[in-house]
Amino acid sequence: PPMALHTPLSLLQLFLLCFLFVCSSNPFFFAKSQSLPADVDLLLHKIKPTLQGNTENLLLSSWNITTPLCQWRGLKWVFANGTSLDCEGLSSPQWSNLSLVKDSSLHLLSIQLPSANLSGSIPRELGQLSALQTLYLGVNSLSQGVPLELGYSSSLTDVDLGHNLLSGPLSPSIWNLCDRLVSLRLHGNSLSGSLPEPALPNSTCGNLRVLDLGD
């Protein structure tokens, strides 16, 4: 019988085969191609670039999907059932767990980056972090204003934005946090105008213990 003819692989086909082989052996390729949990996605694509501005930041460089979540600097996490993610040092079983970055039951509980050489601005997307309770960004070089979206956070209790380069008026929406707010520190900035009236007339600040707006 006549011998079957075989068409040689083109260079493009060979390249594609090699590319697929390399990617299939690299777990991070699939991590990048899959959708990320909402909080992680916001951190990487909105919050991180806004905080660091035009200057690459050493601490924020740890926020990437090739680094275990427990090693992302300045952050604390909580599971949807209220259990905190144990990231206390090298002895924690989660310290080197790379799969946590894809765990949709994890939510950001705290951002603590005082004196971190941040030179960008305050991200408006912080208001979308549903479990965020603590925001400490004091003693940096963050500029522009306090975004009104911060007042739409559903869980914030402690906010420290003191000693930055913030300017402009404070939005009345900040008092949307009033029912939960324990401390609000905005001292050492260049905010203008008088203290706004609450956007919601029935807002109460029964839990507020610290309000520092001075120079």
Cβ atoms within 10 A of the Cβ of 119, count? 17
Residue 116, in any domain of the structure? yes
Specify if 88 maps to a domain.
yes
Q: Which residues of 18-39 are buried (b: 16+ CB within 10 A; e: fewer)?
A: eeeeeeeeeeeeeeeeeebbeb
Would residue 1 count as lying in a domain? no
The answer to whether residue 49 is domain-embedded is yes
Q: Is residue 14 part of a domain?
A: no
Q: Total domain count for the chain?
A: 1
- Per-residue pLDDT of 145-154, as tens digits, reads 999 999 999 9
Indicate whether 141 belongs to any domain.
yes
Does residue 25 fall inside a structural domain? no
Terminal-to-terminal C-alpha distance of the chain: 94
- Summarised one tens digit per residue, pLDDT across range 128-163 is 999 999 999 999 999 999 999 999 999 999 999 999
Tell me if 132 is assigned to some domain: yes
pLDDT of 51 higher than 50: yes
pTM of the model: 0.81
Q: Which of 125, 145, 127 is nearest to 189 (CA)?
A: 145
**What was the pLDDT predicted at 21?**
53
Token couple for 41: 């996605």
Give residue 153's domain range: 37-212
CATH code for position 181: 3.80.10.10
Question: Which of 21-25, 44-48, 84-88 comes out lowest in average pLDDT?
Answer: 21-25
Distances (CA, A) of 208 to 31, 88, 147, 157: 42, 30, 21, 9
